[in-house]
Amino acid sequence: MSLLHPNHESRTMATSAPLAATIATIRATVGPTNIGLLGLLIGLSIFFGSVAGTQLFSGAGFRSMAFQLPELGLLSLAMLIPLLSGGLDLSIIATANLSALAMAWMCTHILPESSVLTSTLWIIGALMAGLVVATLVGTVNGWLIAYLRVSPILATLGSMTVVKGIAVGLTHGGVISGFPASIRFLGHGLVLGVPAALLLFVAVAIPVSVMLTRSPLGLRVAMIGSNERATSYAGVDTKKVLMRVYLFSSLLSALAGLVMMARFDSANAAYGESYLLVTILAAVLGGVSPTGGFGRVSGLVLALVILQLISTAASMIDLGQFITLSIWGATLIGVAGTGALRIWWGKHKLRG
């Protein structure tokens, strides 16, 4: 028998019901994967903060992370879209470098005596040249995968090799450097204390997120990733959608190439090669299904912040690059293992 007055019990239930509904709404909106990533981010922040000291979360520490995150973030977005469709794009780094070389060549051929208007138009033309290169690569990838039914791994591996070979052949493995101040500003400049490249990443990530979650194209990409044959039977032109998937992937790669050339003040055929597997790691860690059909940009961004936090902290406490890679891999295994155990436990409880 309850010792509480019935009215008190009813008031307690009336108060807890809206709270439970609010918590459920927040959980559904944020998503269980993002909630888990937030918990992991908080735990790692506490751990590395105690090891690396206050320097990690100082203004300089935050700026260091903010300057390094955009190029990897743009490349991860370029990998995210094909992964959602059940595919893969191994050519994103090569595409970024070839696009950067095209932009770099034009930027370094501006005549010193050119007027401001002429220089501006030339720089815009350079950016367009990089996007044209990316469009060609994305079109070839999409055509091979959508119409010739070549495996995404084989198609993009082949295009990666071809594109890198062209980049090395044109430059003989050399570097193109010496860009106008407006290009360098994108890699090193601040806008109201925020790195310009980070603002570019945010300006790109938000529309990509909206496109994937709110537009018919995003829905069709997820449907193809879940079951391409059933999507085709539903009347969706899967070939046209896949062409757009790999086109968007290449265009995002070109933007990443622009950020890299601005940050390094140079372009080369071999920059960022270590980023390829990291983009897949970030996507899977962020909750993107390796088989396609499900994933959020918000989860990808949280995963990028976690990886960047680990990288920056490891650098501050003098851990080597390979130790950082090991920690990244262990983090992915831990998160994936926890998710698998949660699913197993849920099935076990149902059987019990």
Q: Please check whether residue 123 lies inside any domain of the structure.
A: yes
pLDDT grade, residue 333 (50/70/90)? confident
pLDDT grade, residue 107 (50/70/90)? confident
Q: Span 75-97, mean pLDDT?
A: 95
Statement: residue 1 has pLDDT above 50: no
Statement: residue 352 has pLDDT above 70: no
Max avg pLDDT among 59-73, 208-222, 326-340: 208-222
β-bridge mates for residue 122, sequence order: none
pLDDT grade, residue 112 (50/70/90)? low
Q: Span 38-63, mean pLDDT?
A: 83
Statement: residue 40 has pLDDT above 60: yes
Q: Please check whether residue 331 lies inside any domain of the structure.
A: yes
Q: Kindly give, in sequence order, each residue whose CB lies less than 8 Å from that of residue 104, ignoring residues fewer than 6 positions away.
A: 126, 176, 177, 179, 261, 266, 267
pLDDT grade, residue 8 (50/70/90)? low
CA distance 246 to 94: 14
What's the CATH code of the domain at 146?
Answer: 1.10.3470
Statement: residue 178 has pLDDT above 50: yes
Q: Please check whether residue 50 lies inside any domain of the structure.
A: yes
CA distance 91 to 164: 9
Max avg pLDDT among 20-24, 63-67, 347-351: 63-67
CA distance 306 to 76: 14
Q: To the nearest whole number, what is the mean pLDDT of the chain?
A: 85
Domain count, the chain: 1
Other beta carbons within 10 angstroms of residue 298's beta carbon come to 18
Q: Please check whether residue 19 lies inside any domain of the structure.
A: no
Statement: residue 18 has pLDDT above 90: no
Q: Please check whether residue 261 lies inside any domain of the structure.
A: yes
Which DSSP category does 54 fall into?
G
pLDDT digits (tens, 9 = 90+) for 225-243: 999 999 999 999 999 999 9
With beta carbons less than 8 A apart as the criterion, state whether 133 and 97 touch.
no
Can you give the residue range of the structural domain that contains 55? Answer: 35-341
CA distance 61 to 41: 16
Please give the full DSSP string across 24-44, using - where no structure is assigned.
Answer: HHHHHHH-HHHHHHHHHHHHH
Q: Please check whether residue 249 lies inside any domain of the structure.
A: yes
Q: Span 193-218, mean pLDDT?
A: 94
pLDDT digits (tens, 9 = 90+) for 240-288: 999 999 999 999 999 999 999 999 999 999 998 888 888 988 998 888 8
Q: Span 112-116, mean pLDDT?
A: 65
Tell me what pLDDT residue 77 has: 96
- Amino acid code (one letter) for 1: M
Tell me what pLDDT residue 17 has: 59
Tell me what pLDDT residue 237 has: 94
Which DSSP category does 234 fall into?
T
Q: Kindly give, in sequence order, each residue whose CB lies less than 8 Å from that of residue 21, ignoring residues fewer than 6 positions away.
A: none
Backbone angles phi, psi at 332, to 5 degrees: -60, -45
Q: H or E segment at 176? A: strand 176-177
Q: Please check whether residue 209 lies inside any domain of the structure.
A: yes
With 0-12 / 13-18 / 19 or more C-beta atoms within 10 angstroms meaning exposed / middle / buried, residue 187 is buried
Which DSSP category does 294 fall into?
-
CA torsion, ordered 206, 293, 75, 278, to nearest 10 deg: 130
Structure tokens at 308: 């960047």
Q: Span 176-205, mean pLDDT?
A: 91
Tell me what pLDDT residue 48 has: 83
